[in-house]
Amino acid sequence: MTTPAPAPAPALSQPTRVLARTFATRLHEVKQGFVGRDEAVDLVALAVLCREHVLLVGPPGTAKTSLLERFRRILDARYFSYLLSRFTEPAELFGPVDIRRFQTEGVYEVNTAGMLPEADIAFLDEVFQGSSAILNTLLTLINERTFHNGARTVDVNLITLLGSSNDIPDDPVLAAFGDRFLLRCRLDYVPDDDIEDVLALGWRGEQELINVAEPARVHGPSGEQDDDPAARTRVGFSLADLTALRRAVAGIDLTAVRGPFARIVRSLRAEGVAFSDRRAVKAQKTFAASALLAGRAVAELADLAPLVHLWTNPRDEQTMRRVAADAGVPVDQPGHTVRSVGELRLDLTELVGQRARIARAEEFRELLRRGHRLALELRRDHPDARDLLADVQRQQRETIIVYRERFTEEELIDV
């Protein structure tokens, strides 16, 4: 009796693949304008596809505003941007009182034309600086997608609120508001080795600003003056196409990653990381969006990478990265440096030597975790070093044997 062949994995439809590829290409164009900001661009894209909100955290001068401004240019969407301070008035964000209607009809409403309640994409710089009145209104707007305008409750079309801040405030009063930003990304100054690239790209951006202020004209074949041809052919990604992609997110198969994700959540909570049920549920949208942008209808382990940006407390970020890496998720560490094969071989030698000297069960488990991370580093940075990877895997198996021989059932934890 022959075993039936497994059913083929579902595939994205041709129109969806084309849309996903087009959107990914536009994201690449945004990335080309910055140094070391690929991760931030990807997170903003995931937020837009998931209809969630993202917070960029970093000191002044790390291109937060420029990055979001460049990103919004690829979308054919209504955009609102504002810098908050302690003195910002609600009318500056939501609109002034409609004096004419108040005088003629006695109705108190604000005129929201061109303001935040009518935006598709919004960016608020120093988002935690707003007054309690502003933050309470924002909380309703970003969580329920509604705006209370006088006696009326209005549905808003807001897709994503992009917030930025120099740091995460400790004030518990802001916790409820800050928790509505599902994705978080830290931005720091680029490494010293990349300063030349920053200067070159930065000057290119300054040239573009100069050309906007003083538009360059070129003469066409009939002698008339035309705008920059590149600017004429640049078409925004339409909201209809974006909506189609967002709907496609719901069709991604997450079956293969649900088990690994559940184990990661349990590990995070065991280490004291705050990771709510709501956050865990919403995280699945980012995995699906990641698969979609890669042109796949089925999520893979690599699509769990966005979860390292789901921290609520900045001190938890490194723990989340470590737990994800230990689970086999390819996670780039900030400031990651590719080590040579020789350095990795010395690490393996050290691990083998330590095995003969350690005595406690927890030390064995830490040794196994380090060996697992070493294998992941080899696969990521040196995929051709198969012999060294085989040595690491063999030593891992031997360590497990020694571990199980040396300790009682009560002391053992499944490895």
Confidence at 52, pLDDT banded by 50, 70, 90: very high
Asked whether residue 367 is assigned to any structural domain, the reply reads: yes
Looking at 160, 192, 224, which one is the last position of a domain?
192
Token duo for residue 66: 């420029």
Q: Are residues 317 and 400 in the same domain?
A: no
Q: Are residues 165 and 304 in the same domain?
A: no
Asked whether residue 220 is assigned to any structural domain, the reply reads: no
Which residues are paired to 207 by β-bridges?
A: none
pLDDT of 93 reads 95
What is the model's pTM? 0.72
Output the CA torsion 127→131→137→140 (10° steps).
Answer: 60
Asked whether residue 272 is assigned to any structural domain, the reply reads: yes
Closest CA to 299 of 310, 283, 311, 312: 283
Q: Are residues 61 and 138 in the same domain?
A: yes
Token duo for residue 2: 């022959």
Confidence at 282, pLDDT banded by 50, 70, 90: very high
Total domain count, the chain: 3
CA 366 to chain centre: 29
Helices (H), 214-254: 229-233, 239-249
Token duo for residue 221: 């074949």
Q: Are residues 61 and 128 in the same domain?
A: yes
Place of tokens 């470590």: 322
- Which amino acid is located at 44 in the chain? V
Q: What is the mean pLDDT of residues 23-29?
A: 90
More confident residue, 42 or 173: 42
What is the Cα–Cα distance from 138 to 349, expressed in whole angstroms?
55
Q: Are residues 142 and 263 in the same domain?
A: no
Q: Are residues 24 and 162 in the same domain?
A: yes
pLDDT of 2 reads 52
For residue 358, pLDDT over 90 is answered with: no
For residue 179, pLDDT over 70 is answered with: yes
* CB contact at 8 A, 69 and 39: no
Looking at 326, 358, 387, which one is the last position of a domain?
326
What is the Cα–Cα distance from 26 to 369, expressed in whole angstroms?
39
Q: Are residues 154 and 282 in the same domain?
A: no
Closest CA to 125 of 162, 87, 164: 164
Helices 38-50, 64-73: axis angle to 10 degrees equals 50
CA 83 to chain centre: 22
Q: Are residues 120 and 258 in the same domain?
A: no
pLDDT of 361 reads 80
Place of tokens 């309703």: 140
For residue 8, pLDDT over 90 is answered with: no
Residue range(s) defining the domain that contains residue 395: 341-406
Asked whether residue 197 is assigned to any structural domain, the reply reads: no
Asked whether residue 203 is assigned to any structural domain, the reply reads: no
For residue 375, pLDDT over 70 is answered with: yes
* Angle at 396 (CA atoms; ends 391, 402), nearest 5 degrees: 125
Confidence at 338, pLDDT banded by 50, 70, 90: low
- Which amino acid is located at 412 in the chain? L
For residue 122, pLDDT over 60 is answered with: yes
Instruction: Show Cβ contacts of residue 307 under 8 Å, excluding neighbours closer than 6 positions.
Output: 261, 264, 283, 286, 287, 320, 324, 329
Q: Are residues 348 and 375 in the same domain?
A: yes
For residue 36, pLDDT over 60 is answered with: yes
Confidence at 317, pLDDT banded by 50, 70, 90: confident
For residue 322, pLDDT over 80 is answered with: yes
Measured on CA atoms in the order 141, 147, 148, 149, is the torsion positive or negative? positive
Pairing verdict, β 160-165 and 152-155? unpaired
Q: Are residues 356 and 381 in the same domain?
A: yes
For residue 410, pLDDT over 70 is answered with: no
Asked whether residue 137 is assigned to any structural domain, the reply reads: yes
pLDDT of 89 reads 94
Asked whether residue 382 is assigned to any structural domain, the reply reads: yes
Instruction: Show Cβ contacts of residue 202 under 8 Å, excluding neighbours closer than 6 positions.
Output: none
* CB contact at 8 A, 40 and 184: no
Mean pLDDT across the chain: 83
Cα distances (angstroms) measured from residue 221 to each of 217, 224, 226: 13, 8, 10
Cα distances (angstroms) measured from residue 186 to each of 44, 226, 384: 13, 41, 32
Q: Are residues 79 and 37 in the same domain?
A: yes
- Which amino acid is located at 141 in the chain? L
Q: Are residues 99 and 139 in the same domain?
A: yes
Q: How many CB atoms lie within 10 A of CB 261?
A: 22
Confidence at 209, pLDDT banded by 50, 70, 90: low
Asked whether residue 239 is assigned to any structural domain, the reply reads: no
Q: What is the mean pLDDT of residues 29-44?
A: 88
For residue 80, report the phi and psi dihedrals to the nearest 5 degrees: -135, 135
Token duo for residue 267: 């590990």
Q: What is the mean pLDDT of residues 203-214?
A: 68
